[in-house]
């Protein structure tokens, strides 16, 4: 059997700035397998630079091509694949790309839409939006538009020393559900700066400290009344359990790619529920393929907060799927066709293609 891979580079409509830096395009790795007339797809959430985590597109290709792909040669159940891949330490994003390829494949074999195949679903995802740092006028304009479009939560990226953005946004929009995401930019000596954010009535502060931390988040949580949300820090169900055990989190941003796929993400969501926590589904600026997985997961009953699954028209002028998701009144419904339900726009794929090849398994 063969897996096809495609590396595509899709320009953003506007540059996206976080505390890591500015990105002008999304360079995505897409995977496709065809077996017995069934065509399955997935996307790695890595990017060209190891900034969000240690993985990048090159490490993902190495792990998949040289080690992990052979474990899917008989198209096992996703949980069986994860068991086989346990010997490969870390590299969750690479593993998730294969694990999710299997979810799409098996839901199609079972003739079921992915969102129903994975678990109990409410049938739609509640949608929030993530706004990158920019000039304040530009951010306010984007927020105003997002609010009028019905987004259920506005999140702004912040960085150490840029807390003034939060004041400006809160002054302009006193009543919107607002959260902030620092992508790990703060240090323990910044506790006072973070405590100061309590005055803005935020839904939560996301990942103030670096991605390997739980301890400082737990200390912060004792000091502030704003809930603490973990993103980068939660890379497994075990990490989620530890976070709740030591009181380091109220909320978890589940990115199936970061956590190693749906099998492990489902466990994280269940652990949060058992501990009275909340979860939502984040995004990695995926193409329509990765987004279809996120929306399916975000529609689960276990996911109780609005996520960052805004439609791609916000980010790209043209997606690589023919039927990109559209939001209506703050919700997106997954497609009812079997599997992820999106159809590939071959012309668009060719237009953005940088590299392609096959992996034999
Ligand atoms: Mg985040």
Q: What pLDDT is attached to residue 80?
A: 98
Judged against a pLDDT cut of 80, whether residue 311 lies above it is answered with: no
Distance 35 CA to ligand 1 centre (A): 36
Task: Single out the catalytic residue among 108, 157, 221, 314.
Answer: 157
Q: Residue holding tokens 């995401």?
A: 181
d(CA 268, CA 352): 35
How many Cβ atoms from other residues are within 10 Å of residue 39's Cβ? 15
d(CA 121, CA 300): 4
Q: What pLDDT is attached to residue 315?
A: 79
d(CA 314, CA 295): 16
Closest CA to 281 of 309, 312, 259: 309
Q: Residue holding tokens 């939006």?
A: 129
Supply the pTM of this predicted model. Answer: 0.96
Could you tell me if residue 254 is inside a domain? yes
> Into how many domains does the chain fold?
2
Could you tell me if residue 337 is inside a domain? no
Average pLDDT over every residue of 190-211:
97
Q: What pLDDT is attached to residue 176?
A: 98
Same domain, 127 and 148: yes
Q: What pLDDT is attached to residue 23?
A: 84
Report whether 115 contacts 296 (CB < 8 A). Answer: yes
Average pLDDT over every residue of 43-63:
95
Q: What pLDDT is attached to residue 59?
A: 98
Could you tell me if residue 338 is inside a domain? no
Same domain, 126 and 214: yes
Distance 111 CA to ligand 1 centre (A): 34
Same domain, 48 and 151: no
- 360: burial class by Cβ within 10 Å (0-12, 13-18, 19+)? exposed
Q: What pLDDT is attached to residue 21?
A: 80
Same domain, 86 and 231: no
Report whether 358 contacts 4 (CB < 8 A). Answer: yes
CATH number assigned to the domain comprising residue 158: 3.20.20.120
CATH number assigned to the domain comprising residue 92: 3.30.390.10
Same domain, 233 and 152: yes
Q: Residue holding tokens 């995004």?
A: 283
Could you tell me if residue 261 is inside a domain? yes
Distance 257 CA to ligand 1 centre (A): 13
Same domain, 79 and 137: no
Same domain, 355 and 265: no
- DSSP β-bridge partners for residue 344: 321
Half-sphere exposure of 200 (CA within 13 A, CB side): 28
Q: What pLDDT is attached to residue 138?
A: 95
Q: What is the mean pLDDT of the chain?
A: 96
Judged against a pLDDT cut of 90, whether residue 120 lies above it is answered with: yes
Domain carrying residue 30: 2-112+343-360
DSSP E strand stretches across 73-221:
125-126, 129-131, 154-157, 178-181, 205-206
d(CA 3, CA 44): 14
Same domain, 258 and 138: yes
Distance 232 CA to ligand 1 centre (A): 7
Same domain, 166 and 74: no
Task: Single out the catalytic residue among 95, 108, 255, 314.
Answer: 255
Confidence of residue 167 (pLDDT cuts 50, 70, 90): very high
Report whether 103 contacts 289 (CB < 8 A). Answer: no
Distance 229 CA to ligand 1 centre (A): 9
Task: Encode pLDDT of 169-178 as tens digits.
Answer: 999 999 999 9
- DSSP β-bridge partners for residue 130: 155
d(CA 334, CA 61): 29
Same domain, 18 and 104: yes
Distance 247 CA to ligand 1 centre (A): 19
Can 255 be counted among the known catalytic residues? yes
d(CA 331, CA 304): 13
Query: What is the percent of the chain where pLDDT is above 90?
Result: 91
Report whether 75 contacts 69 (CB < 8 A). Answer: no
Same domain, 208 and 220: yes
- 116: burial class by Cβ within 10 Å (0-12, 13-18, 19+)? middle
Same domain, 225 and 254: yes
Distance 357 CA to ligand 1 centre (A): 32
Q: What are phi and psi of 165, to 5 degrees?
A: -60, -40
d(CA 334, CA 295): 6
């Amino acid at each position: 059997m063969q897996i096809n891979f495609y590396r595509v580079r899709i320009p953003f409509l506007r540059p996206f700035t976080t505390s890591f830096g500015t990105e002008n395009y999304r360079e995505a790795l897409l995977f496709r397998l065809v077996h017995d007339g069934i065509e399955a797809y997935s996307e790695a959430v890595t990017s060209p630079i190891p900034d969000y985590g240690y993985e990048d597109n090159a490490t993902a290709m190495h792990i998949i091509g040289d080690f992990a792909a052979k474990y899917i040669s008989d198209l096992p159940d996703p949980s069986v694949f994860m068991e086989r891949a346990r010997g490969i330490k870390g590299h969750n994003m690479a593993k998730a790309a294969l694990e999710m390829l299997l979810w799409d494949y098996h839901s199609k074999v079972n003739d079921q839409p992915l969102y129903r195949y994975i678990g109990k679903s409410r049938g739609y995802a509640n949608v929030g939006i993530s706004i990158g740092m920019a000039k304040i006028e530009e951010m306010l304009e984007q927020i105003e538009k997002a609010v009028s479009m019905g987004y259920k939560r506005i999140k702004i990226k912040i960085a150490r020393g840029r807390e003034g953005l939060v004041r400006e946004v809160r002054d302009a929009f006193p009543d919107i559900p607002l959260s902030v995401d620092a992508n790990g930019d703060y240090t323990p000596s910044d506790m006072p700066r973070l405590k100061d954010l309590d005055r803005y009535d935020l839904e939560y502060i996301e990942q103030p400290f670096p991605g390997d931390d739980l301890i400082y988040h737990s200390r912060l949580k004792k000091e502030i009344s704003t809930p603490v949300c973990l993103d980068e820090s939660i890379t497994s169900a075990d990490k989620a359990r530890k976070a709740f055990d030591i009181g380091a989190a109220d909320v978890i941003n589940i990115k199936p790619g970061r956590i190693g796929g749906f099998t492990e993400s489902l466990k994280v969501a269940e652990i949060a529920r058992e501990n009275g926590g909340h979860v939502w589904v984040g995004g990695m600026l995926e193409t329509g393929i990765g987004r279809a997985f996120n929306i399916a997961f975000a529609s689960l009953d276990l996911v109780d907060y609005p996520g960052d699954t805004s439609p791609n028209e916000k980010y790209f002028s043209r997606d690589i799927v023919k039927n990109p998701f559209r939001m209506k009144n703050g919700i997106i419904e997954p497609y009812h066709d079997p599997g992820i339900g999106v159809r590939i726009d071959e012309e668009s794929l060719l237009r953005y293609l940088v590299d392609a090849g096959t992996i034999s398994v």
